[in-house]
Amino acid sequence: MNDQPTPDMLARIALAQVVEPGNPKIGMQVTQRGACDVVSEMLAHLSNTRLPDLAAAEREVELAATIGVRLVFPDTLDWPTQLDDLGPSRPLLLWVRGGGQLRLGVVRSVSVVGARAASEYGLTLASRLSSDLARAGWSVVSGGAFGVDAAAHRGVVAVRDRGEGPEPGLTVAVLACGVDFGYPKANASLFEEIVKRGLLVSEVPLGTQPRRLRFLVRNRLIAALTRGTVVVEAAYRSGALGTLRYAEKLGRVVMGLPGPVDSYLSGGVHRELRAGALLVTSAAEIIEAVGELGADLAPEPTTPNRPRDQLGSLSRVVLDLFPAREAIAQVDLDRAAGLIPGALAVVLAELEAASMIRPNGAGWELTARARA
Amino acid sequence: MNDQPTPDMLARIALAQVVEPGNPKIGMQVTQRGACDVVSEMLAHLSNTRLPDLAAAEREVELAATIGVRLVFPDTLDWPTQLDDLGPSRPLLLWVRGGGQLRLGVVRSVSVVGARAASEYGLTLASRLSSDLARAGWSVVSGGAFGVDAAAHRGVVAVRDRGEGPEPGLTVAVLACGVDFGYPKANASLFEEIVKRGLLVSEVPLGTQPRRLRFLVRNRLIAALTRGTVVVEAAYRSGALGTLRYAEKLGRVVMGLPGPVDSYLSGGVHRELRAGALLVTSAAEIIEAVGELGADLAPEPTTPNRPRDQLGSLSRVVLDLFPAREAIAQVDLDRAAGLIPGALAVVLAELEAASMIRPNGAGWELTARARA
């Protein structure tokens, strides 16, 4: 929002100031009758609740402008249209801090979520996946919590600091509190880094404290903004699994990174994988799952090519008959099962030409090359 | 085989002495015309190959009797009928050493396979899964290699040594060499333990050395004997994955135990899980997958019950509105989204009765119980 706010915008802000986020009843009414009408009705009837206040909304606009926070409204240029998939629980508006453009920044994005009390394993992998995603031009969306959230943001921040990749992705933190509130406080310096190299986003007004319910409803935004959600570590009851549920409902790709089965922090992830979430082990596999069909295929895992890989399948079967350290007699080779009569001589000639076997007395033996 | 061998039995032994195992051509002929006929024809025509020798077969029978090895033939009492699923590549007969009954011992069995160069993680988990399977009355089938194979057998041996469970399962090692050959030599003492508390099984004659091809075809027996195969650790090219392929072809349950994604030893397992193998993290989950429908359900993973779990879902939603450490004003509660008018008072009364909230000034606050 660059110009003066419209009456609809002010009404939306005023509603966001007095209604808990993600309220589908209010969302429905706003869609059907417009925010101004909803505000008028609330002012006329619900005298016992906290009432919307258009003057307070004006003050919010001024405060946001003063501290460099943009207000982004539905159906405007910077609005991420994928949030419209939320239907009546679509946010009334978003508060945004940071350099990047919101809509373009999250067109190709993935959310990386998980436990606050993550293990070294979870932190390392969250950070590595996010770095690799950003390097490949994909943005990473997460919350603002300790653990996996913070590690995911740090992975992107590191890539952008080093200027890696032609167009590295952004890091986007969706907060359950106001974008100026910075909860948890210990992540304050991380939030400042995110503002410089990505975006802080919230659907609640400046100064709003986080509450449990706000974290839960905030998770729907993380799921809705992205093409898929990866859970890196999560115990059986982790809130991060709530984001997966939203992703599932919204038809986004639901993914999990496996871990040691004796780590309770992978327990929730493994349960999701057993229930049908896609197992992913790398950013390439994530991108393959959420990317354009055919354009973002993960490379096949590769292992060193061995001399025997160059051989035809019949030759390999014959080679497998050889003892590792001794010669094999021709008569023993002859009983090689299922070969077309006469084919054995051809195969042996091929193997000898490939320096895989050499004659030994009345038979053959493997060369050093074949043993490699 | 307790009595004198029949001519068919001797012919089968003689064939096994000169033909590589798992040869479907020979298997087909034996099924169609009988082993005696196949031997006669080989003696009449194939003068350039090693010929079946019924006298050598008689000597094999005597040697087996001397060293306590049973010969188990298809369609006899101790024959595991699930091997018949192999069709023409069904073994000609089996050599068996050890105390247990073969057929009954593997009726409820699972194969646990994996890398020879397993990590501490793989060894620990292979052993733990096998112990838990045996304790629950399930037999464990594996090869005789170092690493996961050996750890799987040790897990069962430990349970049987301690006499745990009402009827602990057996441990069954299917070898690619003769049951008296004991390859690898360093596992000799383990093989002796298996003989005392389970079975050594092979389809190749006494004294036969292992060869690469024999390991590969041996894997089909491991897959066929069991209701499902679990791969515990396997790099991308691990031979253990061959057992999974056989299990898949035979319609057995194909399972994998996940691990850290930065361990190359879990790379092959994760690829299988991405391709549709069932992710399992415990013996209970394995038994649920391979067991009788409904009778072997894995227990739901449990976590401690918290006071809030006793509440109705509406009450929990309202509770989630409360700030962690401050009171909330009644007017703020009133704007709780989406509640049926009048319902809030009922819910607050329920929460107060459950000692989850208490009055505070013009509002309410959480009790210590609710914060737990």
pLDDT of residue B304: 46
**A121–chain B Cβ distance below 8 A for any pair:** yes
Of the residues A313, A320, A366, the best mutation for testing chain B's interface (the one with the most B CB atoms within 10 Å of its CB) is: A320
Nearest chain A Cα to B285, which residue?
A274
Classify residue B186 by burial, with Cβ atoms within 10 Å: 0-12, 13-18, 19+. exposed
Q: What is the pLDDT of residues B25-65, one digit of tens each?
A: 999 999 999 999 999 998 888 665 678 999 999 999 999 99
The number of C-beta contacts closer than 8 angstroms across A and B is: 141
List Cβ neighbours of B370 (8 Å cut-off, separation of 6 or more).
B307, B308, B319, B322, B351, B355, B356, B357
Answer whether A129's CB lies under 8 Å from A286's CB: yes
Residue range B108-161, pLDDT digits in tens = 999 999 999 999 999 999 999 999 999 999 999 999 999 999 999 999 999 988
pLDDT (0 to 100) of residue A353: 72
Q: Is A75 an interface residue toward B (CB < 8 Å)?
A: no
Reported as type and span, the H/E element at residue B175 is strand B171-175
Higher pLDDT, B185 or B67: B67
pLDDT at A222: 97
pLDDT band at residue B314, thresholds of 50, 70 and 90? low
Residue B340 and residue A109: Cα distance in Å, rounded? 37
Name the one residue in this structure whose structure tokens are 């609710």: B370
- The residue among B334 and B190 whose pLDDT is bigger is B190
Q: What is the mean pLDDT of residues B73-93?
A: 95
pLDDT tens for B237-295 read: 888 899 999 999 999 999 999 999 999 999 999 999 999 999 999 999 999 999 876 66
Answer for the pair B96, B69: CB distance below 8 angstroms, yes or no.
yes
Query: Positive or negative, the Cα torsion across B15, B243, B293, B299?
Result: positive
User: Which range is least confidently modeled, A67-76, A297-306, B151-160?
Assistant: A297-306
Q: B33-37, B311-315, B365-369: which range is least confident on average?
A: B311-315
pTM of the entire structure?
A: 0.79
Can you tell me the ipTM of this complex? 0.76
Strands A363-366 and A328-329: antiparallel
Residue to substitute from A308, A335, A347, interface B, most B β-carbons within 10 A:
A335
- Do A155 and A131 meet the contact criterion of CB atoms below 8 Å apart? yes
Give B-chain residues touching A212 at CB under 8 angstroms: 319-322, 324
Q: Indicate if the pLDDT at residue B337 is higher than 50.
A: no
Average pLDDT estimate for A288-304 = 67
Phi, psi of A357 (to 5 degrees): -135, 160
Local confidence band at A359 (pLDDT 50, 70, 90 cut-offs): confident
Backbone Cα Rg of chain B: 29
Contact with chain B for residue A32, Cβ under 8 A: no
Domains of chain B, first to last: 98-290 (3.40.50.450), 307-371 (1.10.10.10)
Rounded Cα distance, B344 and B205, in Å: 80
Tell me the C-alpha distance between A19 and A204, whole Å: 9
Bridge-based pairing of strands B94-97 and B70-72 is antiparallel
Q: Is there a contact between A186 and A210 (Cβ–Cβ < 8 Å)?
A: no
Closest CA to B71 of B55, B95, B53: B95
Judging contacts by C-beta atoms under 8 Å, the chain B residues touching residue A262 are 121, 124-125
Closest to A234 in 3D by CA, of A89, A365, A115, A368:
A115
Sign of CA dihedral A229, A153, A238, A16: negative
- Tokens found for residue B287: 């038994």
| Concatenated DSSP letters of A254-272 | EEE----TT-GGGHHHHHH
The answer to whether the CB of B35 falls within 8 A of the CB of B92 is yes
B199, B170 contact by CB (below 8 A): yes
| Cβ separation B337–A18 shorter than 8 A | no
**Cβ contact B11:B54 at 8 Å:** yes
d(C-alpha A341, C-alpha B52), whole Å: 19
Percentage of chain A exceeding pLDDT 70: 83
Contacts of A90 (CB under 8 A, 6+ apart): A27, A74, A83, A84
Residues of B in contact with A19 (CB under 8 A): 335, 337
In what helix (H) or strand (E) does residue B156 lie, and over which residues does it extend?
Answer: helix B148-161
- pLDDT tens digit sequence for B224-239: 999 999 999 999 988 8
A207 inside 8 A of chain B by CB = no
- Which residues are A80's β-sheet partners? none
Classified as helix, coil or strand, A81 is helix
Q: Which residues pair with A364 in a beta bridge?
A: A328, A359
Would you say A262 and B260 are in contact if contact means Cβ atoms under 8 Å apart?
no
Q: What percent of chain B has pLDDT over 90?
A: 64
A-chain residue closest to B50, CA distance:
A331
